[in-house]
Amino acid sequence: MEQFVIKAKSREVIGKQVRALRREGLLPAIVYGHHIQPISISMDYREATRVLQGVSSSQLIDVELEGERHTTLVREKQHHPVTGALLHIDFLEVSMTEKLRASVRIHFEGESFAVKNYSGVIVAGQEEIEVECLPSDLPSKIVVDLSVLKEIGDSLYVRDLVLPPEVEILTDLNELVVIVTAQAAEAEVEAVEAVVGAEEPEVMERGKKEEEEED
């Protein structure tokens, strides 16, 4: 498993005053967990965005704070509504000996024979699924091979996903992951989407938000 490390410093500045930190090139964040008091921190903005780029919500990140490392998951990223710049990060500290629940993204690979030869259309029903396991067993993504979809109408469900035995799937096993359909009229596509009808999995643990108001 690839290791991600971000260096951080404790901070006392909170509320609207954190805007001054951002002007200095710092990114405010918080580390919280079941066994620690929340710690307000700041990180170098460029370093943090570099490390966090492409990191999923199920990948472990070590926050190095004053010589001590906190193993965490990113629970929430706050972005500027116009520029998209990062404003704040919530890190959840995890225990390596306690199971946790997390959402793991689905990554589609390969090419469907039905798409290539029958002009089929891939319709995804799930972008991520919820699992429970020890942090060390948490997959960064779940790879789904589209090449197994040979005919129009072929599909994969959550029950078809192959995960290590130590990873328990919490999402309904009968939820549709992906289906290949014929090129259809708009009304038929909408009907397929209605069948898919999968709601985004609920995050089981929400970040402990600081009361930081933005203009």
User: What is the spatial distance between Cα 79 and Cα 84, in angstroms, rounded to a whole number?
Assistant: 5
pTM for the model:
0.75
For the chain, the average pLDDT equals: 85
DSSP state of 188: H
The SS3 of residue 122 is: strand
- Summarize pLDDT for 126-167 with one digit per residue, the tens: 999 999 999 999 999 999 999 999 999 999 999 999 999 999
Any bridge partners for residue 64, and if so which? 7, 69
Domains, the chain? 4-93 (2.40.240.10), 100-196 (2.170.120.20)
- Summarize pLDDT for 165-209 with one digit per residue, the tens: 999 999 999 999 999 999 753 445 555 566 555 444 443 333 444
DSSP state of 150: -
Any bridge partners for residue 78, and if so which? 88
